[in-house]
Amino acid sequence: MELIAPEQFLDKAAGRTLTFRMEPSGQLVGVEQFLSRVLSVWTRADGTCTYGVITVRDGQLCFVYDDDPDVSHCWYTFIDDNGLLVGMPSDMEVQRVTKITETPVGCRDVPLS
């Protein structure tokens, strides 16, 4: 697993929809549509959706979501022979990108804003 710059991750993600699963269990975390390099729609495993503002800070890819504006979710970005991964520094939770498509997310309800 090799650390890559957040901008390299965004090069692969912008304009696409990525599916995230826990490593190594494969449990679905959610699906994120990267509308641009600065805006996304996050769909959780339960089908609820929210918009996210994307920033790069201190070598990490960070998201602030409309439904949780006081928390910044930041990830280190990685690549290996099987594709892209993100890791949370606080507990080293690792999520693997298992699918990249150009299909919009399917939200059960409309994002909050």
Going from N- to C-terminal start, the domains of the chain cover 2-100
| Alpha carbon distance 16, 13 (integer Å) | 5
List the CATH code of the domain at 2-100.
Answer: 2.40.128
pLDDT for residue 113: 46
Contact between 76 and 93 under an 8 Å Cβ cutoff? The reply is: no
pTM for this model (two decimals) = 0.90
Of the candidates 60, 57, 48, 53, the one whose C-alpha atom is nearest the C-alpha of residue 3 is: 60
What pLDDT is attached to residue 93?
86
Q: Which residues of the chain have pLDDT under 70?
A: 89-90, 108-113
pLDDT of residue 109: 60
- pLDDT score at 1: 86
> Which SS3 state, helix, strand or coil, does residue 6 take?
helix
pLDDT for the residue 47? 87
